[in-house]
Amino acid sequence: MPERRKTALVIVEDERTRDALTSVLKGDYRVLRASTGEAGVLLMEREDVDLVVLDLQLPGIAGLDVLRIVKENYPYVEVVVVSAISDLDSAVEAMRHGAYHYIPRSFDPETVRTVMANASERQDLSRHVLRLSEEVAEHTDREFVVGPSRATNEIVSMVHKVAPLPATVLILGESGTGKELLARLLHRESEHPEKPFVAVNLAAIPRELVESTLFGHEKGAFTGAIRQQIGKFELAAGGTLFLDEIGDLRFELQAKLLRAIQEGEIERVGGNRPIKTSFRLVAATNVDLEKAVKGGTFREDLYYRLNVIPIRMPALRDRIEDLPGLARFFLRRYNLKFRKNVQGIAESTLKILGAYWWPGNIRELENLVERLVAVSSKDWISDEDLPYELHVANIGTVDQPSENLLEQALITFERNFILRALEKSNWNVTGTARYLGIPLSTLKFKLDRLDIRDIARKFRT
């Protein structure tokens, strides 16, 4: 993916100086020129400018005023000022107002190239920091866990084949199956893993902000747009843009996305000029896009543009062999987060987890392990720590007579309820009996009948 060539705007009154700067810069940048501050500001409204070389001595609007206008409306544009040696105070004042550096009127070409290259690097760093500040808290310690299941290994094999290619990838699967983690794996295995990975959950963005979030906006594009804003497409330049829940994208915005894919350019909200883009697109959805196309809610041409390399993520119940490894991975993560030292999960407990349906998939498993670690005061997570619905899921396996299912369900519920009452009463049997409103002898009989001897050591009468 070739990177977009940056645009430098030279705002200098003197024609010879303007020509000289243009000659120096044109090898590395697309160069625009203006002889007045007013003309320069108008050009910035029409063109996508990255860097400005600004003469402080201008007719009409003064150079410092132009600098203020640029930094107020285009905060990601870096400005290098041109100043006479005798007027260095003005150059210092300009840097206090946001200019990156200055060059003297009697410049040498190498100095100009060096200063401009450094300004360009600072701009890249600013965008990188912006991107990280938005995402680092949400996506720390995220990785695709490879388990022993055949389904997982087939997916990883596919990733190794397609990740180095610039082709668009469409990840399909139920919610919570780890589609974003797979997208991150694709990025790490790509030709440019050092480039940005920008993730956007389209379903989580308010409907009226989706277009601005993706494409950015110009100052004044709508109420509250007090300055220019760079969108996710531009933040992903040279890297990977991950659009989650692509099936939720509004129909009228699908055409803009199609243009971005086909033409390699976007247009900010309120803008009137195309901006070149360069990114690898990975999209994901839990929606049946073919059905959406037939129903008229998703563009057919966009669907075929997205469905170049489809990868289907299996539900957790279809890769249940991977559950123990996933559970242990989440256990380590939340031990660190909560500063706990839970050693592991009992084998019998993992068996119960393996019998559950997991409608929320990996996300549900992660949330459960997080909750168990957070409240645990033990070395191991065991059966009695699990919520009731997981115990019920373990009832009625093939070797159990179907006519006993109701009885087994009632026993499981009673056992789990008593265990919760014991925990609430700090494992005091007398206090638990009082809390349940039953005689102590009845509770002791139930403890024996329900086979809760393995935790008898905790009981206090």
Mean pLDDT, 10 residues at a time, the chain of 461 residues: 77 92 93 93 88 91 90 87 77 86 89 91 72 47 75 91 94 94 92 90 90 89 82 90 94 92 89 86 95 95 96 94 93 91 91 89 94 89 82 56 59 75 80 88 82 54 53
Place of tokens 């989580």: 204
Residues 310 and 327 grouped into a single domain: no
Vertex 389: Cα angle to 384 and 390 (nearest 5):
60
Task: Specify whether 100 is located in the same domain as 164.
Answer: no
Domain boundary among 286, 314, 342: 314
Give residue 389's pLDDT. 72
Residues 300 and 420 in one domain: no
Give the DSSP letter of residue 12: -
Same domain, 432 and 303: no
Q: Please tell me the total count of domains within the chain.
A: 3
pLDDT at res. 419: 75
Residue (of 387, 320, 381, 315) closest to 354 by Cα position:
320
Radius of gyration of the chain, Cα coordinates, nearest whole angstrom: 31
Regarding whether 300 and 247 lie in a shared domain, the answer is yes
- Domain end position, chosen among 261, 285, 314: 314
Return the structure tokens found at 56.
């402080």
For residues 164 and 186, what is the distance between their CA atoms, to the nearest angstrom? 8
| Residue 116 confidence (pLDDT) | 93
375 occurs within a structural domain: yes
**Do the domain assignments include residue 101?**
yes
CA torsion sign for 419, 420, 425, 426 is positive
307: tokens are 């469905």
134 assigned to some structural domain: no
Q: Are residues 276 and 186 in the same domain?
A: yes
Residue whose entry in the numeric block shows the structure tokens 């991975």: 329
For residue 413, the one-letter residue type is F
Whose tokens are 């905790």? That residue is: 458
Instruction: Give the 3-state secondary structure of residue 204.
Output: helix
Handedness of CA 263, 265, 268, 271 (dihedral sign): negative
130: in domain: no
**For residue 370, what is the domain's CATH number?**
1.10.8.60
Kindly report the number of other CB atoms within 10 A of residue 76's CB atom. 16
Give dist(CA 407, CA 402) in Å, integer: 10
Instruction: Evaluate whether residue 442 is within a structural domain.
Output: yes
Q: How far is CA 420 from CA 25, 263, 381, 387, in A?
A: 73, 60, 15, 9
One domain for residues 174 and 282 = yes
Same domain, 197 and 267: yes
pLDDT in tens, 121-163: 888 777 666 555 444 434 444 577 778 888 998 999 999 999 9
DSSP 8-state secondary structure symbol assigned to residue 460: B
Q: Which helix (H) or strand (E) covers residue 153, if one does?
A: helix 150-162
Q: Which residues neighbour 401 within 8 Å (Cβ) at sequence distance 6 or greater? A: none
pLDDT at 162: 94
Question: How far, in Å, CA of 352 to CA of 279, rounded?
Answer: 44
- CATH code for the domain of 44: 3.40.50.2300
Q: What number of CA atoms fall less than 13 Å from residue 110's CA on the CB side?
A: 0
Q: Is the C-alpha dihedral spanning 41, 47, 49, 53 positive or negative?
A: negative
pLDDT score recorded for residue 131: 57
User: Is the separation of the CB atoms in 232 and 225 below 8 Å?
Assistant: no
**CA 11/CA 237 separation, integer angstroms:** 27
Show the DSSP H helices in 311-394 as ranges: 323-338, 347-355, 361-375, 388-393
pLDDT attached to residue 460: 52
Question: Which pTM does this prediction carry?
Answer: 0.64
Looking at the structure, tell me whether residues 346 and 449 fall in a common domain.
yes
Q: Are 219 and 226 in contact (CB under 8 A)?
A: yes
Q: In the prediction, which pLDDT does 137 show?
A: 39
Alpha-carbon gap, residue 127 to 359, rounded angstroms: 38
Measured from the Cβ of residue 83, the count of other Cβ atoms closer than 10 Å reads 23
- Amino acid 390: pLDDT: 80
Phi, psi of 93 (to 5 degrees): -60, -40
Question: Residue 220: which domain range?
Answer: 141-314
Among positive and negative, which fits the CA dihedral 421, 426, 431, 433? positive
Does residue 11 lie in a domain region?
yes
Verify that 306 and 328 share a domain, yes or no.
Answer: no
What's at 444, amino acid-wise? K
106 plus 185 within the same structural domain: no
Q: Is residue 352 included in any domain, yes or no?
A: yes
Cα separation, 131 vs 197, whole angstroms: 9
Task: Decide the pairing of beta strands 169-172 and 30-34.
Answer: unpaired
Residue 126 within a domain:
no
Residues 370 and 307 in one domain: no
Domain CATH code at residue 272: 3.40.50.300
> Nearest Cα to 143, choosing from 339, 325, 350, 314?
325
The answer to whether 123 touches 51, Cβ cutoff 8 Å, is yes
* Of 89, 121, 153, the domain-final residue: 121
